[in-house]
Copies of this chain bind each other. A is one copy, B any other.
Amino acid sequence: MSSNPSREKILAAAKKVAQAHGYSGLNFRDLAEDVGIKAASIYYYFPNKADLGAAVARRYWEDSAAVLEALLAKFSDPIHSLRHYPDTFREALENNNRLCLCSFMAAEYEDLPEPVKKEVQTFADVNVAWLSKVLSAANVVSSEETERRAQAIFAAVAGAQLIARSRSDISLYDALIESYRVAGLLPA
């Protein structure tokens, strides 16, 4: 849990690269240059690429979980928190048209080392659990529909981000989310 400066820099740089180019696009030489050390030095902090990838993905869902908890705490009415859920995915697009790390890794899934896969799953679990909790508290769907609706919202928002990124068009993302609201998938 110590916050080593170089280790933190590596994680931050790797996160950016992975969001833009995926796990397969991560390479130690460019990463090292970004951080200001040599490629071989990364091995002092991470035993290999799989371990680095897993650490990046774990950090990613931990950060997401914290953002979502803050979003829940921010409003007394859970429906307001829910309305701001798509903002968390919008921010990646605002930030150099980046994709959710775990959406990219979902595409790459077949090629991921096992420990990385595990963290990608957890990202989905964290999102679906949060949505379930909030949907339930906001009472917008029947209790037997809650879990499925949570999964549907997560998948649809991830899809919107993916398509908007391929157009480099953040207004398309907004239009898609608005359309989900009009259709009834998200609360108006």
> Which residues of A are at the interface with B, using a C-beta cutoff of 8 A?
20-22, 24-25, 97, 99, 102-111, 120-121, 124, 145, 148-149, 151-152, 154-160, 162-168, 172, 175-176, 178-180, 182-185
For the complex, give the distance between the alpha carbons of A176 and B156 in Å. 9
For the complex, give the distance between the alpha carbons of A177 and B103 in Å. 18
**Number of chain copies forming the complex:** 2
State how many angstroms separate the Cβ of A24 from the closest Cβ of chain B: 5
A166/B120 in contact, CB under 8 A: yes
16 pairs of residues in contact across A and B, judged by CB atoms under 8 Å: A97-B110, A103-B107, A105-B166, A107-B108, A120-B166, A121-B166, A124-B166, A149-B183, A151-B163, A151-B172, A151-B179, A154-B163, A155-B164, A156-B160, A158-B159, A185-B185
State how many angstroms separate the Cβ of A114 from the closest Cβ of chain B: 13
Overall SS of chain A's interface: helix
The answer to whether A109 and B166 touch (CB under 8 A), given A159-B158, A159-B159, is yes
